[in-house]
Amino acid sequence: MTIELIHFHEERRRVILGTLADPKRRFFNSARTKIDENDTYVSTLNEIFASVGAFPLASGGKDAALVVTLPAGGYTVQVHGTDGGTGSATVEIYELP
């Protein structure tokens, strides 16, 4: 399975109050091994976003997004402030075609 993980910071800021100023996402498997992490969005993912109906994010923004291919199993996503800050986070997960 290939999934896309998005943490909306800049785009959803108007809707969610108190968002993390600079979010970082970590992705772990069920053995608690870190699989991947991300803290800055890159616009090369826009084509993939469009394929699942997600909207594009601003390149170089503080949004965190990644695409990862995974076997079946349990996984955990952790979002925290890179600067130690606190706040709200939204994580969306999409299965890619």
Q: What percent of the chain has pLDDT over 70?
A: 81
Q: Helix, strand, or coil here: 53?
A: coil
Q: Where are the domains of the chain?
A: 2-95
Place 6 in a pLDDT band, splitting at 50, 70 and 90: low
Task: Look up the pTM and report it.
Answer: 0.70
Place 68 in a pLDDT band, splitting at 50, 70 and 90: confident
Place 85 in a pLDDT band, splitting at 50, 70 and 90: confident
> b/e map of 47-79 (b: 16 or more CB within 10 Å)?
ebbeeeebeebeeebbbbbbbeeeeeeeeeeeb
pLDDT (average), residues 10-23: 65
With beta carbons less than 8 A apart as the criterion, state whether 27 and 34 touch: yes
Q: What is the pLDDT of residue 95?
A: 83
